[in-house]
Amino acid sequence: MSEKTSEIAELLGPTVASLGLELLGVEYLPAPGGATLRLYIDVPGGEGADPAAGMGAAGTDARVVTIEDCESVSREVSAQLDVADPISGNYTLEVSSPGLDRPLFVPTHFARFAGEQAKVALKLPQDGRRRLQGTILRVEDGTVVFALDGAEFAVAADNIDRARLVPDWAALGLAPSKNSPSKGKPAGKSGKAGKHPSNKPAAGEPHAE
């Protein structure tokens, strides 16, 4: 994460935790018309549904992030952002569950999903690549090792700009067909914000970028 996102994550993490949730990570996307601040939340310690399996260890009744959770987090962090004021100018606040194509922010996220496919964008090119898609093999000494084109490809965790899981949609029974409607977004809440965000609910199912 960048210095700005690390600062915001450190600021808001305890607030999210006080609501019984975990702040997975933060995306801060500056733009001329106003920045976007996107928070991804989950149930703590992997208690919720496993995106790779479609359910948690306890089965289909495992707790998942709801729109109500996102609304609660949005209210609390909006108030905190107003006071701490880490972002100058207008911004859009978005609070979302990770979805099936969940983002991966830190080495422990990659380690948890070893064996799964991930799509990765690098900060600096490596072996002529800025983007890659491969299977997560392991994490060691701050390096994430992928299986890529029949060989191992090691990337320093601090050189990873963005990463997401690539779900096996067919195995999950969610592969699109010609006659089926497209899926929506994960449970979430978003809203325009200056110093005082006003929020509107988002849709409720997984998506892929």
The yes-or-no verdict on residue 49 having pLDDT over 60 is no
Nearest to 83 by CA among 201, 198, 197: 197
Share of the chain above pLDDT 70, in %: 75
Question: What distance in Å separates the CA atoms of residue 85 and residue 102, rounded to the nearest whole number?
Answer: 28
Local confidence band at 152 (pLDDT 50, 70, 90 cut-offs): very high
pLDDT at 63: 80
For residue range 58-75, list pLDDT tens digits in order: 444 578 899 999 999 999
Query: Facing residues of 38 across strands?
Result: 27, 94
Asked which of 19-33, 62-76, 185-199 is least confident by mean pLDDT, the reply is 185-199
Answer yes or no: is pLDDT of 176 > 70: no
pLDDT for position 200: 36
CB 144 within 8 Å of CB 91: no
Share of the chain above pLDDT 90, in %: 60
Higher pLDDT pick, 103 / 169 = 103
Confidence of residue 179 (pLDDT cuts 50, 70, 90): low
pLDDT reading at 170 higher than 80: no
Instruction: Decide which of 79 and 46 is more confident.
Output: 79
**Residue 14's pLDDT band (cuts 50, 70, 90):** very high
Contact 143, 154 (CB under 8 A): yes
Give the CA-trace dihedral at 12, 183, 114, 8, to 10 degrees.
-10
> With contact defined as beta carbons under 8 Å apart, do 12 and 80 qualify?
yes
Return the sign of the alpha-carbon dihedral for residues 49, 50, 56, 59.
Answer: positive
Question: Rounded to an integer, what distance in angstroms lies between the CA atom of residue 182 and that of residue 74?
Answer: 27
Q: Give the three-class secondary structure for 209.
A: coil
Give the mean model confidence (pLDDT) for residues 180-209: 44
With cut-offs at 50, 70 and 90, classify the pLDDT of residue 171.
confident
What domains can you pick out in the chain, each with its CATH number?
3-101+184-201 (3.30.300.70), 107-165 (2.30.30.180)
pLDDT class of 8 with cuts at 50, 70, 90: very high
Is the Cβ–Cβ distance between 145 and 157 less than 8 Å? no
Q: What is the pLDDT of residue 32?
A: 87
